[in-house]
Copies of this chain bind each other. A is one copy, B any other.
Amino acid sequence: MTDRPIDPTTQARLGAVSTATLATVLFKRGLRNQFVQGARRLGAGKRPNMVGRAFTLRYIPAREDLDVLEGYRDPEHPQRKAIESVPPGQILVIDCRGDPRAASAGGILMTRLHVRGCAGVVTDGGLRDVEEIGGLAMPAYCAGPSAPTTLTRHHAVDMQLPIGCGEVAVFPGDVLVGDGDGVIVVPQEIADEVAAEAAEQESLETFVLEQVAGGSALPGTYPPNDDTRARYAAWRAKRED
C-alpha cells in the first residue's frame, strides 16, 4: 500500500485526461476491468476531474442486533473512523456489494469529508441527501439516491483492506480518476506510466477530434497512419511553442 502523495506531474496529467483514454491505456496493458460499474456523479454541470488515492472502507450485510444507531457513539465505529482517517487529497471508496437500496452515507458525513480535504467519494451503494451532496465542490459517485440509513443494509467492518467496488478490485493507494463518464481505478504500481501514456494519447485524440470535426474520414485518421502522425507532430510542436 502506497501512502505517499501522487507525483505532481502524474496528478496534473490525470486531471487533464478522460477516463475513456485511461481505460484504453489500461486495456493495452491487459487490464480490462478497472471501470467502476454503475457509479454516477452527483450534481449537474461540467466539473474538473476527481483524482486521488483510494482509502477503502468495507461493508458487509447488516445484522439487526449489531447495526443500531447507538453504535455510532463509538468513535471506533469503522464508518466514522474511516471518515476521520482519510488523508487530505485521498478518495473514500466504499464497498457496498453493489446494493443501492440504502445510503452509504449522507450529507453530514460528506460535508465532514469535504472539510477534511478529501478529494472525493466513490461507492457502489446509494447516498442520501443527494441534492445537498451534489452542491458540494467535492465530487461524489454512487449507484443512486437512497434515503434509508446505512444500518438498514450495511455493517461497516474495516478500512484500508483491498475491496471490490462496482465489480472492480480496489487496493488502498490505487489512483482513482473520475469524470462525467464515471470512475476508473489505476493500479498504484503503474500510475505514473499510465498517466504519461494517457497524456500522450489524449493530446493525439484532441488533434484527431479536430481533424474529424473538420471532415476527415476515419481511415488513416483514427487510428492515425504515418501521414496523420506527421501532421500531428507538427500541430503539437506548434502548440508547445
Q: Report which A residues bind B (CB closer than 8 A).
A: 18-20, 22-24, 27-35, 37, 40, 44, 46, 60-66, 69, 72-73, 75, 80, 83-84, 97-98, 100-101, 103, 106-109, 111-112, 115, 128-131, 144-149, 151-152, 155, 157-158, 161-164, 167-170, 179-182, 184, 187, 205, 208-209, 212-213, 215, 217-219, 222-223, 225
**Known A35-B146, A129-B181, A212-B111: A223·B60 in contact at CB below 8 Å:** no
**Known A75-B219, A112-B218: A20·B212 in contact at CB below 8 Å:** no
Residue of B nearest to A44 (CB): B44
Specify which chain B residues have a CB less than 8 angstroms from the CB of A112 in the assembled complex: 212, 217-218, 222
Complex contact A20–B147 (CB within 8 A):
yes
A23 to B126, CA, bound (A): 14
Sample of 10 further A-B pairs with CB below 8 A, known A18-B128, A72-B222: A20-B107, A20-B149, A32-B148, A33-B62, A33-B64, A60-B162, A61-B167, A63-B187, A97-B98, A131-B181
**Known A64-B30, A72-B223: A131·B23 in contact at CB below 8 Å:** no
Specify which chain B residues have a CB less than 8 angstroms from the CB of A29 in the assembled complex: 65
Count this chain's copies in the assembly: 6
Complex contact B65–A131 (CB within 8 A):
no
Specify which chain B residues have a CB less than 8 angstroms from the CB of A34 in the assembled complex: 148
Residue of B nearest to A24 (CB): B149
A162 to B84, CA, bound (A): 22
Contact of A63 among B33, B145, B158, B223 (CB under 8 A): B33
Complex contact B145–A40 (CB within 8 A):
yes
Specify which chain B residues have a CB less than 8 angstroms from the CB of A152 in the assembled complex: 23, 27, 32-33
Complex contact B146–A181 (CB within 8 A):
yes
Complex contact A30–B219 (CB within 8 A):
no
**Known A27-B69, A69-B223, A161-B158: A19·B147 in contact at CB below 8 Å:** yes
Smallest beta-carbon distance A82→chain B, Å: 10
Smallest beta-carbon distance A222→chain B, Å: 6
Smallest beta-carbon distance A26→chain B, Å: 9
